[in-house]
Chains A and B, each alone.
Chain A
Amino acid sequence: EDKVVQSPLSLVVHEGDTVTLNCSYEVTNFRSLLWYKQEKKAPTFLFMLTSSGIEKKSGRLSSILDKKELFSILNITATQTGDSAIYLCASPGGALNFGKGTSLLVTP
Chain B
Amino acid sequence: DGGITQSPKYLFRKEGQNVTLSCEQNLNHDAMYWYRQDPGQGLRLIYYSQIVNDFQKGDIAEGYSVSREKKESFPLTVTSAQKNPTAFYLCASRLGGSNQPQHFGDGTRLSIL
Contact = CB atoms under 8 A, between A and B. Distances in A.
B99 interface: yes
Contacts of B100: 92
B74 interface: no
A68 interface: no
Contact of A48 (B4, B90, B101): B101
Interface of B: 4, 33, 35, 40-45, 48, 50, 56, 58, 90, 92, 98-107
A84 interface: no
Chain B interface secondary structure, helix, strand, loop or mixed? strand
Contacts of A6: 42
19 contacts: A9-B40, A32-B99, A34-B101, A41-B107, A42-B4, A42-B104, A42-B105, A45-B102, A45-B103, A48-B99, A50-B99, A88-B42, A88-B43, A94-B48, A94-B98, A98-B43, A100-B40, A100-B41, A101-B42
Contacts of B90: 42-43
Interface in A28-86: 31-32, 34, 41-45, 48, 50
A93 B107 contact: no
A31 B99 CA distance: 6
